[in-house]
Chain A
């Protein structure tokens, strides 16, 4: 498995997570599966909507784009593309910053945690680290 394969796999998992939470937000799924934390409190708080769209939907878009870029990056044509690598790094960096902001809100403003959000945060962090390594190596290789 190459690095970009891992990125694609993680993005795919994130895509389904984003879809699950988006469907919940639009009332298509009754209740959230939530073992130990306060998912519904987080998901129904006023912070769960950003620029008119549920945060989960932004996440869905983020993972979809990341998946597309990773799959593209697996093609020989783009294997050494510095532009693609930089694009992935910027996207993952934006995702990591946004996720950090959401985690800050959970910890200090909403005072509740949603395990799905933490799961997503871990995936975004891994994506960012992988994208960073990928970008550095493409730069060196180029």
Chain B
């Protein structure tokens, strides 16, 4: 074996080997330098590219979403933002806890936008259907948004990593929120709101969304976590567009909204 090592170029005993390995070493360092240059270049590009949020126009022939989901805000707000969210998705959780409070305070409550949330429970998340069903059960008692926030805040207590009995945790989370606890528990046990969640899921699936969260802002679709600043920028762009060409307003303002909520 020792002999083999010398032949392979790392032996220190054979002088002839030493001279023979020089070209190999040079080629090796060349390859290392090449990989290093490509690697540093790629990382440099990735970190320096503009962090512009990627928005794409969605197919305008897709069915409107106005009669589904849960709506917050003024029916007369000029822009509607729709979020397709999955209660167990970490990025949706980040959005709900970090971005959404600002969005509500500065954009929804001031009448600039109207917010619509539609369940898109993804197959990869074990307990997400339970969460959507529980949120819909809270909605029966007019407490969807409170439950929505509580579910996202406590994501790590009921998600697939935390428990195999999410309903028990979700009932506990809902307890201080819903006025009628017995009705809420029964709703979860019977999965009474499952058809509603299924309808939302079907709507999301029919739009072939790339993931969650996905936001529709006017006629644009964005599928990534948005900070408040990202969202505000896009909303401002939409508002400016609407102002510039009032004859051709965005998809949402064109259709008008009849009644919020289901």
Which of B39-47, B231-239, B250-258 interfaces with chain A?
Answer: B39-47
A4 CA / B9 CA spacing, docked (Å): 11
Which of A7-15, A50-58, A87-95, A115-123 interfaces with chain B?
Answer: A7-15
Tell whether, in the assembled complex, residue B32 and residue A8 are in contact, meaning their CB atoms are under 8 Å apart: yes
Whether A30 contacts B10 in the complex (CB less than 8 A), given A23-B47, A112-B124, comes out as: no
Tell whether, in the assembled complex, residue B2 and residue A76 are in contact, meaning their CB atoms are under 8 Å apart: no
A7 CA / B2 CA spacing, docked (Å): 19
Interface secondary structure of A, over-half rule:
helix
- How many B residues, CB 8 Å from partner? 32
Answer whether residue B36 sits at the interface, using C-beta atoms and an 8 A cutoff: yes
Residues of B89-106 whose CB lies within 8 A of A: 89-91, 94
Smallest Cβ distance from B153 to chain A, in angstroms?
15
Q: Which residues of B lie under 8 Å from residue A80 when comparing CB positions?
A: 12
Tell whether, in the assembled complex, residue B8 and residue A2 are in contact, meaning their CB atoms are under 8 Å apart: yes
Tell whether, in the assembled complex, residue B31 and residue A9 are in contact, meaning their CB atoms are under 8 Å apart: yes
Whether A30 contacts B51 in the complex (CB less than 8 A), given A40-B90, A40-B91, comes out as: yes
Contact-residue size bin, chain A (C-beta under 8 Å from the other chain): 35 or more
Tell whether, in the assembled complex, residue B126 and residue A111 are in contact, meaning their CB atoms are under 8 Å apart: yes
A46 CA / B159 CA spacing, docked (Å): 12
Closest to A22 in B: B43
Q: Which residue from A4, A8, A44, A76 sits with its C-beta under 8 Å from B91?
A: A44
Tell whether, in the assembled complex, residue B161 and residue A1 are in contact, meaning their CB atoms are under 8 Å apart: no
Interface residues of A (CB under 8 A from B): 1-5, 8-9, 12-13, 15-16, 19-20, 23, 28-31, 38, 40-41, 44-46, 74, 76, 79-80, 109-112, 137, 140-141
Interface residues of B (CB under 8 A from A): 1-2, 5, 8-12, 18, 24-25, 28, 31-32, 35-36, 39, 42-43, 46-47, 51, 89-91, 94, 124, 126, 156, 160-161, 224
